[in-house]
Amino acid sequence: MTATLLVTFGRISDMYGRVRLYNLGFAIYTVGSLLLYLTPNTGDLGAIELILFRIVQGIGGAFLFSNSAAIITDAFPANERGKALGINQVAGLAGGFLGLVLGEVWAWRSLRVRYAASYWR
C-alpha cells in the first residue's frame, strides 16, 4: 500500500497542505497499529483482520513517507538540509529497529508467562 500510494499522496499533499496530511497520516497509522494490537479474532478471520489492518497502516505510512522529507526540506535552509534529512532517516531506521527488538522481547516475555502459568495448573 505504501509504495503504490506514495506518489499520489505526495501530489495530494502539495495541493492541500503537507503538514495537515502528515498529521492525518500519523493518525491513520496510529489507528491501524491499535487495531492490529486489538485484533479480536483468531484463525482465518483473524488473519484477514490482520491483513486489513496492515493495509490501514500502509495508507498512514504512505502519508508519512510522502511528506516527511518535503516538510524538512521546506523547514531548513539549504546549508542544513543534509544534516536534517540524515537525522530524520537515522531516527526512522532506529525506531524501526528498536520497535522490532522491543516487540520481540515483549512477545517472548508474555509467552513465557503464559506457558509458565499453564504449566503450573
List per-residue pLDDT tens for the chain, 121 residues long.
888 898 999 899 999 999 999 999 999 999 999 998 888 888 889 899 999 999 999 999 999 988 998 999 999 999 999 999 999 999 989 998 998 888 888 777 666 655 655 555 5
Mark whether 98 and 66 lie in a shared domain.
no
SS3 helix, strand, coil % of the chain, rounded to 5?
A: 90, 0, 10
Range of the domain at 103: 78-121
Mark whether 66 and 82 lie in a shared domain.
no
Mark whether 67 and 116 lie in a shared domain.
no
Whose cell is 516487540? That residue is 103
* pTM > 0.85: no
Helix (H, G, I), strand (E, B) or coil at 87: helix
